[in-house]
Amino acid sequence: MTETLTPAARERRSEGHLPVPRDPRAPYRAGSWSVIIAALVVLHLLAFSATDFHPAKLVTGAQGMMNFLSEAIPPDLSGEVLRKGLEGALTTLWIGLLGTTISVPFGLLLAVLGARTTAPNAFVYQIARGILSFFRAVPDIVFALIFVTAVGLGPFAGVLALIAHNTGVMGKLWSEAMEDIDPGPEQALRTAGASRWQVVANATIPTVLPQLTGLLLYRFDVNVRSSLVLGLVGAGGIGLLINKAIKTFQFDEMLTYLIIILVVIVAVDLASGWIRKRLQ
């Protein structure tokens, strides 16, 4: 049978270019993408229905929003409000700081036990990973509610909540960092007869120390923001003041507290970024 070629195909053949064969999986891939897109559309429609997502309500509720803003602006800059706001912001900062630093030894221990390259055996590895998964899975605000019940209202409950949650998050991140390092220094120490903990202390941790520090600073940023939310459930800090201002309809005070915490968070971001650059 004589092969029928288009003029363009004849030209390519005359120039030594062979036609590109068709991918036999192309129709299958196109069908798979069609199914995925259709499934995503259906899921979003169900989500819109379940969450009562109607952007038009923003238009109908514009008047209520304007009334809220008119009561909040200008912010209350009286001396008493500023004093309480600054004290609450400092408490929020201390909650984030202690919740970050006190979780370091717990997170580091679980990271060593939960990394494949440093865990003593598979059983210890699975136990450590399970503990990390639990602390990471439970939100810090749930921990705050539990500790408020245990120790009462105040910043101590917020610190305990951040310690628990941050231990899980940092342990997971640090264990993955330990698994990704160059195994050369560790193997050299093992060959020289070093024990497991000597290898961890003299090879693993020094190798990943800059990365661990960068992750810790990032978590400090997150924890300062989280401590604001924890205050809304009674765990102290400026979040508690914001919650009281909303409940008493003192929206001008609320705006003052929001401005203060915004300044604190921006300052923490800038300081953390400056330190991270120096560590690189």
Q: What is the pLDDT of residue 232?
A: 79
Q: Worst-scoring range by mean pLDDT, 1-10, 155-164, 238-247?
A: 1-10
Q: Is residue 236 within 8 Å of residue 112, measured between CB atoms?
A: no
pLDDT at 80 exceeding the cut of 80: yes
- Residue 280 has a pLDDT of 64
3-state secondary structure of 249: coil
- Nearest CA to 8 out of 24, 20, 23, 22 is that of 20
- Between 205 and 30, whose confidence is greater? 205
Residue type, 127: I
Q: Can you tell me the distance from the alpha carbon of 151 to that of 91, in angstroms, rounded to the nearest whole number?
A: 17
With a cut of 90, say whether residue 167 has pLDDT above it: yes
84-139: per-residue pLDDT in tens? 889 888 988 999 899 999 999 999 899 888 888 888 888 888 999 999 999 989 88
What pLDDT digit, counting tens, does each position of 27-57 carry?
Answer: 666 667 788 888 899 998 899 888 888 777 7
- Higher local confidence (pLDDT), 268 or 190: 268
**Residue whose tokens read 């909040």:** 72
User: Which of 236, 229, 88 minimizes the C-alpha distance to 151?
Assistant: 236
pLDDT higher than 60, residue 224: yes
Give the pLDDT score at 228.
83
Average pLDDT for 14-25: 56
Q: How many other β-carbons are positioned within 10 Å of the β-carbon of residue 84? A: 19
Structural domains of the chain, with CATH: 80-279 (1.10.3720.10)
* Mean pLDDT of the 243-268 span: 87
- CA pair distance 234, 237, nearest whole angstrom: 9
Least confident of 60-64, 71-75, 150-154, 172-176: 60-64
For the chain, give the percent of residues with pLDDT over 90. 14
Return the axis-axis angle of helices 140-151 and 155-179, rounded to nearest 10°.
Answer: 140
Q: What is the pLDDT of residue 74?
A: 81
Q: What is the pLDDT of residue 161?
A: 92
